Structure 1
Amino acid sequence: MGMCLPCLGGAADDVVETPDPETRRRQLAEAAEKRQKETSYRGVKNPESVERKKKKQEEMEKQEMMTSPSGGGGLKWQVG
């Protein structure tokens, strides 16, 4: 009869403590951000290069908006 009681004695050591809600929320947010980053770069061999090109394109667009007074790209339509 006392044979199965010793095996229950170590069961308390196997219980995994769940982290508090704030820690759990932070871990879930980090995991979601990591998944989103991985899916956005799927199929891209060099993500740093893509980021550099994107930043350069944004800077060029910003510069273009600053130099053009109307912000329309500098083209004029003539009808006649």
Structure 2
Amino acid sequence: MGSLCSSCFGSNGESSNLMPSPETRRRQQLEAAERRREENERRGIKNPDSIRRQQQRTEEMERREEEAARVGGGAPNLKWQTA
């Protein structure tokens, strides 16, 4: 009877082939987490390219403002005159 049950359910050697190695499982979990993160970032955005361009424009404007402040020596560009 013991051999009949072991042949029906498989031996320990066969069940270990069903589970991936810990390294493979870790890699698969990392890939799945990365996919979920990307999906969450894109959720609700119809055109991700336009958002990316908008962010680049904003970063470029901030960089230019910082550069202008550095070159200008911190002095304001506009001067108030009262009559």
TM-score class, shorter-chain normalisation, is 0.5 to 0.7
Would you say how many aligned residue pairs link Structure 1 and Structure 2?
74
Larger relative contact order (Cα-Cα within 8 Å, sequence gap ≥ 6): 1
- Tell me the residue number matched to 2:7: 9
- Runs of 4+ with deviation above 3 angstroms: 12-15
Query: Residues 1-80 of structure 1: matches in 2 within 5 Å?
Result: 5=4, 8-9=6-7, 11-12=10-11, 13=14, 16-20=18-22, 22-68=23-69, 69=72, 70=74, 74=76
Structure 1: where are the runs of 5+ without partners? none
1:38-65 CA-to-partner distances (Å, cap 9, x unmatched) read 1122111111211121112111111111
TM-score (norm 1): 0.61
- Percent identical pairs in the alignment equals 39
Structure 2: where are the runs of 5+ without partners? none
Q: CA RMSD in A?
A: 3.2
Q: Which has the higher helix share?
A: 2
TM-score (norm 2): 0.59
